[in-house]
Amino acid sequence: MSRFAREGGSGERLRRGGGRRACCGVGSAAGMMPSGSPAVPVAVLLLLVWGAPWTHGRRSDVRIITDENWKELLKGEWMIEFYAPWCPACQNLQPEWESFAEWGEDLEVNVAKVDVTEQPGLSGRFIITALPTIYHCKDGEFRRYQGPRTKKDFINFISEKEWKSIEPVSSWFGPGSVLMSSMSALFQLSMWIRTCHNYFIEDLGLPVWGSYTVFALATLLSGLLLGLCMIFVADCLFPSKRRRPQPYPSKKLLPESSQPLQKVEEEQEADEEDVSEEEAGSKEGTNKDFPQNAIRQRSVGTSLATDKS
Catalytic residue positions? 87, 90
Contact call for residues 174 and 164 (beta carbons, < 8 A): no
Rounded Cα–Cα distance for residues 31 and 129 (Å): 62
Residue 131 vs residues 67, 91, 262, 266, 303: alpha-carbon distances, Å = 19, 11, 87, 91, 132
Choose among 70, 168, 85: nearest CA to 122.
70
Contact call for residues 79 and 110 (beta carbons, < 8 A): yes
Dmax over CA atoms of the chain, in Å, equals 190
Per DSSP, helices labelled H in 238-258 are none
H helix or E strand, kind and range, residue 210: helix 208-237
List, in sequence order, every residue forming a beta bridge with 142; answer none if it has no partner: 137
Write phi, then psi, for 148 (nearest 5 degrees). -65, 150
Triad 224, 226, 231: Cα angle to 5°: 95
H helix or E strand, kind and range, residue 133: strand 133-138
Rounded Cα–Cα distance for residues 77 and 173 (Å): 19
H helix or E strand, kind and range, residue 2: helix 2-32
